[in-house]
Structure 1
Amino acid sequence: MAAMAPSPGGGAGQHGALPLLLCFLLLSKEAWGLLCYCEGLCPDPNNFNGTCEAMPNSFCFSAVELHYDVETDEMKEERTYGCLGQDELGLMQCQAYLIEHYRPKNISCCREYDRCNEGLLPQLSPQKPSVAPPRDFSESLVLVTLPLAIVAFLALILTFWFRYRQRENSLLVYNKPVGIIMGPNDTLSDLIEQSSGSGSGLPLLVQRTIAKQIQLVQSVGKGRYGEVWLGRWRGERVAVKVFFTTDEASWFRETEIYQTVLLRHENILGFIAADIKGTGSLTQMLLITDYHQLGSLHDYLQNITLNYFTMIRLSLSTACGISHLHTEIFGTKGKPAIAHRDIKSKNILVKRNGECCIADFGLAVKYVSENNELDFGTNPKVGTRRYMAPEVLNETINMSCFESLKMADMYSFGLVLWEICRRCASESGDRYLSADEYQLPYFDSVPQDPSFDDMHEVVCVKGIRPDIPLRWHCNEVLKTMSKVIQECWHANPAARLTALRVKKTLYKLQVTDGTKIV
């Protein structure tokens, strides 16, 4: 039989070209990226098209996560859509939807066609309690003795192994350092728990890896040192402080202070990572920390009225943070004493549980009593003029004495306590006295942006201090607070209270119903 050749213009030729066309389209999508549906995590907040362009060979994703809603006091699901970064190709992360997920987040990925993630709806599966069937006595006995026997056997093996390792280590000249291996599903809390326990932060390699994977969501504030962004790392919220290029010394100093041994404390802002990123013509210096959505104490006090309990909770937690900074911890892995030198309400953040944490260590000074040396760093800037102590304003402070720096912090802390107490409502007999309007210290004595000379004239020459409202004297709690405040901002540094003394006083303070604040 003669072979039949397909006609050049026939259907066979057309059918043969169709797979080639599909392959070309698929390859072009992988090579040039694809458009993904974007919601909640758009790289450009001004993008109203609801799309983002994925990096080559990357994925579109849809994620669901549980978040605490402050207004309703409930956990709510939050869905986000977007593009995975080039460093997160989803090799492990994108397979999470294939198994039941009992953690408070889940993610699904795709790259078949543009906006393929718009219909993806990963679910959070609630963990179902299992009901154990009743067992007889013999079965229960086996279930109890068998694990004990296994544990005893493993303990015996570990004992022999430990002795063997001790003998081996005694022959080694040096030990190879062990780092943290970052898995695809690790969370920030997991990584911190894996660290050495010294409290000096994560290893540098892990910090740089985290910094490269951060997605900036939106700007949440600006300061004299840079801009603060809300960012996300593997679905977790973080705060990213981007320093101006002119403030490299501030970034370096703050990073150095955060990595101080044993600095980690519940009332010190949690440090995660620091890195310098180059984006062509622009260099970004990043400082990544815990994110607190309630913002600074300055912003928080403007929108809320306090009661006795919340007032003391804010004040006490701030005092605990300052006390931890000022305290030197002795030992092989000891912590130096640290003076903040820029205590103010804008540098104190409010956590979701109503406590405060200290932030912004760009001007901090370290002191180690063993060698009696002060480490000022290389940052030439000074603190905020409105909160400067009298001895700083008249330039009589002894900069070589660490106690003088601590007492300057306590003067600034006294002004912060005054800001807090003004926003606390009170009672006098049967009368309810509303809180005072929020104001900055010396609001009625100096301009909005006072100069050094303005503050020197008011604080040093005239000896003025912020006014204590009369209603404070009609209530025992506010009356005690006013005494603490006035002792903190005393003109004589030696007469001021220490942070530890303030902390102990606030611990003993009781609200009107007799509940002790602990």
Structure 2
Amino acid sequence: MKKKEQTAVGGPGRHYSPDTTTPRPGLLLRPCPLFLSPYDEPVPPVCCSAVKMAACSVPLLLLLLQVLPTSAEDTDGPLVCACDKCQEAVECRGTSCFSSVKRESGLLLFERGCLKNDQQTKLQCYTSPSLNKAIYCCAQDLCNANATHGALMALLPSAPEGEPMPYRVETMALFVLAPVVVLILLSVVSVLACRRLHHGRLQRLQEFDTEQGTIDGLISSNVGDSTLADLLDHSCTSGSGSGLPFLVQRTVARQISLLECVGKGRYGEVWRGQWQGENVAVKIFSSRDEKSWFRETEIYNTVLLRHDNILGFMASDMTSRNSSTQLWLITHYHENGSLYDYLQRVAVETMEGLAMAASVASGLVHLHTEIFGTEGKPAIAHRDLKSKNILVTKDLRCCIADLGLAVTHSQADNQLDVGNNPKVGTKRYMAPEVLDESIQVDCFDAYKRVDIWAFGLVLWEIARRTYSNGIVEEYKPPFYDQVPNDPSFDDMRKVVCVEQQRPFIPNRWFSDPTLSALVKLMKECWYQNPSARLTALRIKKTLDKIYSSLDKSKES
């Protein structure tokens, strides 16, 4: 086979090795630096690469390209080249032969083969330099067969100084994932530390509450701490008017110190306690009266129940004392006590008595009235109204307490909620329809009329202790002269239903205009027919009118 000429063409990372024979006559070649050949023995170069043409003059390069053959088309036929990826043979034919090395994912990939046409030769052999690939092109038969790996690796340009080599995929993934994993671990450790710290604070708070919820000791409020008035004001202005939030109730209940027992009743005891330096009333139910405690708590938590003439509710909670479970109901404390106790100690002036009666009527109106709205209030009937369940405030006004037997009604669903407490009210204050069992238990208005009957008896108690012309009677409960101290159902039914008697009214009351007006009002509350009795609103307006006329007469 005729030996073909070899064309010297190249660039950075590429080299065409010319034939070792003497160049053609008449061709003047300028000397260039020696290039490393991929063959075992170095071959003296003919000219520099195209990129490094600064070593050769432009006219000489043009002359070289015209004189030397550039492909197999200028020779006798296709070249025979060594091939690594040919499926059927180890050789291939083309216009040029090549040997290449490629850096990929940290590995060096070597390849030999042939380029089929001049277009491929130009694309492969005349490309820009790359840090990851070097190619050696030649134009002789099997000129790429003896290319060594070491020589090809030497053709790979080294990275410029200060420029990092490309990373492997595994290295890049490690650099990306490592900070993420570290951040996740730090976040988990931070969350666990915060939870542990929070748990420790809760334990210390519980220990503090246990120590403070005893019967001894006082708690004073520090400067800047929330006081009872602050919390109750927030409750009133928050829109619900139903007492403190549940969690606040638990906190208040556990921070109360009980000081002295101020009263006892059928449901338990009433204690004076202190919370952050302020007096509160703690009604303690025994565990057997859980239904009464639950019902009263349920009623006090009614939305929009809070009113000046309804006892202010603070909190309710279950606690343990002396190895027994106690049910606490915490409310405002009124040092004057109940109306029953106050009237036994003190006789009142006419204006004071009227103000007390009007305040009770105002509270009853608020209970009986349903408030409509998104967060409305159902109508409530007390069912156990009496002087012992009415408290006297500092300004000698009254507020209604003890809602354990209350009944609620909502017109939206026409639902009557009587509760599941089997106990009934106080027999001395029971209306005729309750005593003879003729009351319509499924009618809410019937329960309101029962309250009106009881209010008439409370009005009678106030009138007895009201001065008139310097005269006042001693305190006596209703029907004191007609039934025993602890009357039975039969005793009350005989007096009220059969004999239709009413509390005794002294003659002096008729000589006093104010007491005379009160007598007329209380008689309208005692009608045997429940439908004929006055409403709470009518009573309130009448009392306000009497109070205003008396006030004007005193001013004149």
Q: Specify the TM-score bucket, using the shorter chain as the normaliser.
A: 0.5 to 0.7
Q: Decide whether aligned partners of structure 1 residues 516 and 208 sit closer, same or farther in structure 2, where only a CA change above 3 A counts.
A: farther
Instruction: Output the CA distance in 1 between the equivalents of 2:544 and 2:554.
Output: 8
Superposed, 1:134-153 pairs within 5 Å as: none
1:316 and 2:358 aligned: yes
What number of residue pairs does the alignment pair up? 343
List per-residue Cα deviations over 1:363-394 (Å, max 9, x = no partner).
00010011111111111100000000000000
Q: Which amino acid in structure 1 is aligned with residue 500 of structure 2?
A: G
Q: Could you say what secondary structure the match of 1:349 adopts?
A: strand
CA contact (8 A) 2:218 2:257 kept: no
1:284 and 2:326 aligned: yes
Instruction: Output the CA distance in 1 between the equivalents of 2:331 and 2:217.
Output: 23
Q: Which amino acid in structure 2 is aligned with residue 251 of structure 1?
A: W
Instruction: Output the CA distance in 2 between the equivalents of 1:83 and 1:375.
Output: 41
Residue matched to 1:447: 484
Q: Which amino acid in structure 2 is aligned with residue 206 of structure 1?
A: V
* CA displacement at 1:446 relative to structure 2: 0.3
Could you tell me which of 230, 234, 239 is aligned with 2:281?
Answer: 239
Instruction: Output the CA distance in 2 between the equivalents of 1:320 and 1:513.
Output: 19
Could you tell me which of 465, 472, 484 is aligned with 1:435?
Answer: 472
Give the unaligned 5+ runs of structure 2: 1-205
List per-residue Cα deviations over 1:390-433 (Å, max 9, x = no partner).
0000000001000000000000000000000011111xxxxx34
1:353 and 2:395 aligned: yes
1:496 and 2:510 aligned: no
Q: Which amino acid in structure 2 is aligned with residue 496 of structure 1?
A: R
List per-residue Cα deviations over 1:326-348 (Å, max 9, x = no partner).
00001111100000000000000
Instruction: Output the CA distance in 2 between the equivalents of 1:251 and 1:489.
Output: 31
CA contact (8 A) 2:218 2:274 kept: no
Instruction: Output the CA distance in 2 between the equivalents of 1:193 and 1:84.
Output: 24
Q: Could you say what secondary structure the match of 2:377 adopts?
A: coil
* CA displacement at 1:56 relative to structure 2: 9.4
1:274 and 2:311 aligned: no
Could you tell me which of 472, 481, 486 is aligned with 2:518?
Answer: 481
Could you tell me which of 485, 508, 514 is aligned with 2:552?
Answer: 514
CA contact (8 A) 2:241 2:306 kept: yes
* CA displacement at 1:514 relative to structure 2: 2.4
* CA displacement at 1:57 relative to structure 2: 9.3
Q: Could you say what secondary structure the match of 1:514 adopts?
A: helix
CA RMSD of aligned residues (A): 2.3
Q: Could you say what secondary structure the match of 2:399 adopts?
A: strand
Residue matched to 2:254: 212
Instruction: Output the CA distance in 2 between the equivalents of 1:204 and 1:308.
Output: 42
Q: Decide whether aligned partners of structure 1 residues 281 and 198 sit closer, same or farther in structure 2, where only a CA change above 3 A counts.
A: same
Instruction: Output the CA distance in 2 between the equivalents of 1:280 and 1:475.
Output: 55
Instruction: Output the CA distance in 2 between the equivalents of 1:437 and 1:382.
Output: 29
Q: Could you say what secondary structure the match of 1:450 adopts?
A: coil
Instruction: Output the CA distance in 2 between the equivalents of 1:57 and 1:331.
Output: 41
Residue matched to 1:468: 505
Residue matched to 1:160: none
Q: Which amino acid in structure 2 is aligned with residue 341 of structure 1?
A: R
Could you tell me which of 388, 408, 418 is aligned with 1:376?
Answer: 418
* CA displacement at 1:467 relative to structure 2: 1.1
* CA displacement at 1:278 relative to structure 2: 2.6
Instruction: Output the CA distance in 2 between the equivalents of 1:199 and 1:240.
Output: 20
Q: Could you say what secondary structure the match of 2:544 adopts?
A: helix
Instruction: Output the CA distance in 2 between the equivalents of 1:279 and 1:200.
Output: 28
Residue matched to 2:226: 186
* CA displacement at 1:201 relative to structure 2: 1.5
CA contact (8 A) 1:231 1:237 kept: yes
List per-residue Cα deviations over 1:103-161 (Å, max 9, x = no partner).
xxxxxxxxxxxxxxxxxxxxxxxxxxxxxxxxxxxxxxxxxxxxxxxxxxxxxxxxxxx
Q: Could you say what secondary structure the match of 2:552 adopts?
A: coil
Superposed, 1:64-463 pairs within 5 Å as: 83=217, 96=223, 185-195=225-235, 196-279=238-321, 281-426=323-468, 432-463=469-500
List per-residue Cα deviations over 1:343-369 (Å, max 9, x = no partner).
000000000001000000010001001
Q: Decide whether aligned partners of structure 1 residues 235 and 396 sit closer, same or farther in structure 2, where only a CA change above 3 A counts.
A: same
Instruction: Output the CA distance in 1 between the equivalents of 2:455 and 2:428.
Output: 12
Residue matched to 2:202: none
CA contact (8 A) 1:508 1:516 kept: no
* CA displacement at 1:194 relative to structure 2: 3.0
Q: Where in structure 1 do 4 or more consecutive aligned residues deviate above 6 Å? A: 55-58
Q: Decide whether aligned partners of structure 1 residues 513 and 325 sit closer, same or farther in structure 2, where only a CA change above 3 A counts.
A: closer
Instruction: Output the CA distance in 1 between the equivalents of 2:452 and 2:207.
Output: 54
Q: Could you say what secondary structure the match of 2:273 adopts?
A: strand
Q: Could you say what secondary structure the match of 1:383 adopts?
A: coil
Residue matched to 2:149: none
Q: Which amino acid in structure 2 is aligned with residue 194 of structure 1?
A: H
Instruction: Output the CA distance in 1 between the equivalents of 2:324 and 2:552.
Output: 58
Q: Which amino acid in structure 2 is aligned with residue 469 of structure 1?
A: P
Q: Which amino acid in structure 2 is aligned with residue 477 of structure 1?
A: T
CA contact (8 A) 1:433 1:471 kept: no
Q: Decide whether aligned partners of structure 1 residues 497 and 516 sit closer, same or farther in structure 2, where only a CA change above 3 A counts.
A: farther
* Structure having the higher Rg: 2
Q: Which amino acid in structure 2 is aligned with residue 476 of structure 1?
A: P
Between 464-473 and 282-291, report the one with greater CA deviation.
Answer: 464-473
Q: Which amino acid in structure 1 is aligned with residue 226 of structure 2?
A: D
* CA displacement at 1:499 relative to structure 2: 0.6
Q: Which amino acid in structure 2 is aligned with residue 472 of structure 1?
A: W
List per-residue Cα deviations over 1:160-202 (Å, max 9, x = no partner).
xxxxxxxxxxxxxxxxxxxxxxxx7101121223333211221
Q: Decide whether aligned partners of structure 1 residues 270 and 467 sit closer, same or farther in structure 2, where only a CA change above 3 A counts.
A: same
Q: Which amino acid in structure 2 is aligned with residue 501 of structure 1?
A: R
Q: Which amino acid in structure 1 is aligned with residue 425 of structure 2?
A: G
Instruction: Output the CA distance in 2 between the equivalents of 1:353 and 1:318.
Output: 14
Give the unaligned 5+ runs of structure 1: 1-54, 62-81, 97-183, 427-431
CA contact (8 A) 1:509 1:516 kept: no
Instruction: Output the CA distance in 2 between the equivalents of 1:56 and 1:378.
Output: 36
CA contact (8 A) 2:217 2:257 kept: no
Residue matched to 2:135: none
CA contact (8 A) 1:393 1:455 kept: yes
CA contact (8 A) 1:319 1:502 kept: yes
CA contact (8 A) 1:507 1:516 kept: no
Instruction: Output the CA distance in 2 between the equivalents of 1:420 and 1:325.
Output: 21
Q: Could you say what secondary structure the match of 1:264 adopts?
A: coil
CA contact (8 A) 1:226 1:242 kept: yes
Q: Which amino acid in structure 1 is aligned with residue 225 of structure 2?
A: N
Superposed, 1:33-48 pairs within 5 Å as: none
